[in-house]
Amino acid sequence: MEKTEKIPLKKILLICSKASIEDVYAALVMGNGAVMEGIETKLFFTFFGLDAITKKTMNKLHTATTGNPGMRMPGGLPFPTMLGGLPGVEAGVSAMMRKQMDALDIPPVDEFLELITAGGGEIYACKLAMDMFKLTKEDLHDEVKAVITVGDLYEMCDGPGTQIVFT
């Protein structure tokens, strides 16, 4: 039988390009989980994902209440799309979601970033998206290590046992 060598995951790069609670937290939970396992971890935020590392927006993320077939009323009833479009509904639902996450000991975004960097994880912002949204490094949370190009990102992907995940 052919002998296959298993290469454990040594390094992971997580790319987050969206600003919804579920997309950002998918990246944060996976990133923090990797740090907890002793895996070298880098998170790269681009496009709307920049909201997650921008001081002004990071702790006020929303989830979409329209165009989201997974959305339910409390109790599990379907959530009418028309209702989701009413003013304030998305903000209210999002606030409720953040509150429920807090109850499960899931930290707010800024604290989550601090937890990741405390364990040696690194946070990066995409230069091109920063230019597009007219953001500067000062707009970003202090835990962001650098604003980098896509070339810089690929340079970080060296070595066996490295994976890139796009959320």
Partner 1 sequence: MSIKTIAGVDINVNDEGYMEDASQWTKEIAKEIAKEEGVELSDKHFEVIEFVRGKVAAGEGLTIRGIGKSGVVNAKEFYALFPGAPLKKATKISGVPKPTSCI
Is position 106 an interface residue for partner 1 (rule: CB under 8 A)?
yes
Backbone torsions φ then ψ of 81, nearest 5 degrees: -60, -35
Least distance between partner 1 and beta carbon 3 (Å): 23
* Binding residues for partner 1 restricted to 38-97, rule: CB under 8 A: 38
Nearest in space to 27 (alpha carbons), one of 47, 7, 4: 47
Least distance between partner 1 and beta carbon 39 (Å): 9
Give the Cα separation of 159 and 116 in Å (integer). 22
Angle at Cα 34 formed by Cα 32 and Cα 37, nearest 5°? 115
Nearest in space to 14 (alpha carbons), one of 2, 29, 3: 29
* Binding residues for partner 1 restricted to 112-131, rule: CB under 8 A: 114-115, 118-120
For partner 1, give the closer residue by CB, 38 or 92. 38
Count of C-beta atoms within a 10 Å radius of residue 157? 13
Is position 36 an interface residue for partner 1 (rule: CB under 8 A)?
yes
For partner 1, give the closer residue by CB, 28 or 153. 28
Is position 107 an interface residue for partner 1 (rule: CB under 8 A)?
yes
Q: Which residues bind partner 1 (CB under 8 A)?
A: 29, 32-33, 36-38, 105-107, 111, 114-115, 118-120
